[in-house]
Structure 1
Amino acid sequence: MAKDESKLRIPSGSLVIRLVIEQLDDLLKDAAGAEGAVLEATTKLAPIVLSDAQAILGGKKGGLSYRDGILIQLGYGLISENTFDHTLRAEGARGVAQALGKANAQRHIPKINDAYENIGKNTKNLVRGNVLEFDRLLTWMNTASLEDRTFLFRYALAEVALTARPVLRMPTLRPVELTFARISVFFEELFEVPSGGAHEQFAVAAVLGAMLDQFSSGGLQGLQVKTKNINASDASTGTAADVQIVRGNLIEAVFEVSANDWRHKIDQAVDAAKRAGLSTAHIIAAGTDTADLKAMLSGSTVDISVAEIRSFIRIVCSILRPPAREDALRRLYDLLDRLQPDVALTNGYVTLLRRHAFAAD
C-alpha cells in the first residue's frame, strides 16, 4: 500500500514541464538574471556538486540527454516535496523529455528529442555507472535540502538559457496579405541577399512541401520533401540531392539548386538521379541562360530539366492558396533556423517579412 501511495504523490508530467519551461522562459527574457544565477551557484553549491553539474551542463560528460535528465529529475523532485526518488525515472518522464526537446528547439536551444531514449529507455534506474557525475548528482538530490535543489535547478536552467541562439522568432503571418504579386516581390528581394545558396535551396524545399500538403499528398504515408544542411554534401548526409521528394524510403524526384549558373550543377544532377535510381533530375538555378541548353545536355544519360529559380518559385506560388503560402514561409524560416549556421540570415528573413507587412504582430 505504501508503494501505491508514493506513486500517487509523484506529480503529473504536465506540472513538471510547465515548471521547467516557465522558469526557462523567465531566464531567456533576463540575460543578466541568468548570468547572476550562474554566479550565485558558485557560492551556494558545494564544490563537488557544482563541478559535476558543470561537467553535465557544459557537455563534457553525457551530452544533451544528461543535461535534460538533470532538469527533469530536479523538476519532479521540487514539485513532489521530498517524496521523489531522483535516481528513478518517474512515470510519464519520457513524455516530459519529448516536450522539453520541442520547447528547446522552439527557443533556439540545442536539443535532444527524448533524453530518456539514451539514459533510461528500458529501465527506471538512472544510476547505472555510465556517467559518474550524473549518478552522483542524482544520489545527492535525494539527501539535499529543498533550498540546495532549487539553487541547482535555477543554475541548470540559467546555463541552458545562455546557450540559446539570438534568433528572432517567426512572426504570426497574415494570409490575406500573401497575394501572388506580393509574395513574388518578397522572393525577388530575398534572392538578392547573398546567402551561399541557402535562400534558394530552402525556398525550393519550402514551396514544394507546402504544395504537397495543399493537395493532401503529404503526411507519413504520402510524399514528403527532404533537404540537407547547407554546408553538407549530398553524400555525407545520405541524401541523393539538395532537395528530394520521397515516399517512405523511395525517392520520387531530385532537385539540384544553385544561386549560380546552372551548368555547374549538371554533373551533380546526373549523380543525384543515379543515386536515386531515377532517369530524370531537375536543376533550379539563378540566371539560366539556356542558349546552349541542347548542346550541354545532349550527351547526358539522364533527362535533366532546367528552371530559373525566380520563375520556378513564382509558378509554384501561383498554385498555392494563401494558407499554403503562409505554410511555405513558415517552412522556410524553420529550414533557415535549423539547417544553416548564420543567425543573421534567419533574422534578416524575419525582418524582410515584417518590411513587406506580412506579420500580424
Structure 2
Amino acid sequence: MADPAAEKTERRGAKKRRRRRHNPDGTMSLIEHIYEFRRRLGYALLAILLGGVFGFIWFQTKLGPIPSLGDLLTGPYCDLPQADLLTARNGGKCQLLQTVPFEAFLIQLKVGIAAGMVVVGPLWLYQLWAFIAPGLYSKERKYALSFVGFASILFAAGAVLAYVLVPGALALLVSFGADQFVTALAGEKYVSFVLSLLLIFGVSFELPLLVVMLNRVGVVSYDQLKRWRRGMIFGLFVFAAFATPGNDPFSMLALAGALVVLFELAIQLARFHDRKLAKQRKAEGLEGLDDDEAAPFEYTPSSADEPEPAQPSRFGGSKNTDDIT
C-alpha cells in the first residue's frame, strides 16, 4: 500500500517540475503574482501569530536565565527610588497601575505581539524576500541583502540604547515636584512611552545607512555632504527635540549625539567610496567627464557595419536590402 505522504510529496514535486518546464524564466502573470502575494502574506501572518503567542506566554514566564518580558518592561520603572513609588500593596512590590478593566490583558497582548514579531522576524522577513527577490538582478539582491542586514543591526542598536536610557529619562521626569507627588504610572501610558522610545531610536539609527546607500547609487556625493554637514547636524538636534516622546533633555541629547556620530561615520564612508570611484574612473580614462558627457571610446568600423549596395527595385529606382518591406 502506497504511503499517502509520499504520494503527496511526489505530486508536489511533479507540479513544480511542470511549472518550471512551462515557465523556465520564472515570469508570472498578474493573477499569479496576486496568488503568490496572498500565499506569502498568509505564511508571514502565521509566523507573526505564532510569535505573538510566544510573546504573550513570555510576558509572565522566565526562559531559564532570561527574565520574563514583563520584568524587562517594568525594570526601568522599578529602578526608580522606592521613596518616589507607590508600593504599598504586596509587601512593597513594584507594579504598574491598571486604571481600566482589561487594560493589563491588552498591554500583555500588545507587548507580546511586538516581541514575538522580533523573535520570529527571520521567518516573516524571508516571506517578504521570497516575494521580491525573483524580480531583482543578482547585483540588486546583493545590495538588498546588505541593506536589510545592516538595517537590522542598526535598529537593534538604537533600541538597546533607548532601553539603557529609559531609567535615566524616567528619573529626570519624575524628579520634578517629588515632594508633592508620588509616582504611580498607568500601565498603558508607561508601555506606550517605552515602546515609542525604542521605536524612535531604532528608526532614527537607519539615517546613516540611508545616506550611505544614496551615496552608493550616486544621488549624493561626499562634497555635497561636506557642504551640508553643519545644517544636517542642526537638523538632527531639531529632529531629536521633537522625536523623543518624553521631551526630556537627557534622551534628546543622547539621541542627537548618537545620530551625529553615525552621520559623521556615513560621511567618512562616502568619502572613502568617492575616492575609490575617482581612482577607478582615472584608470579607465573617464576622469573629468560629466555624467551626461560621452565617453572617449575608440571605435573602428568593420566590414560588417558597412551598408549593402542598393539593388534595383521592380517598381523602379533602388532599394536597400536592409529596408523592411
| TM-score relative to the length of structure 1 | 0.21
Larger % of strand: which? 1
- Structure of greater Rg: 2
| TM-score relative to the length of structure 2 | 0.23
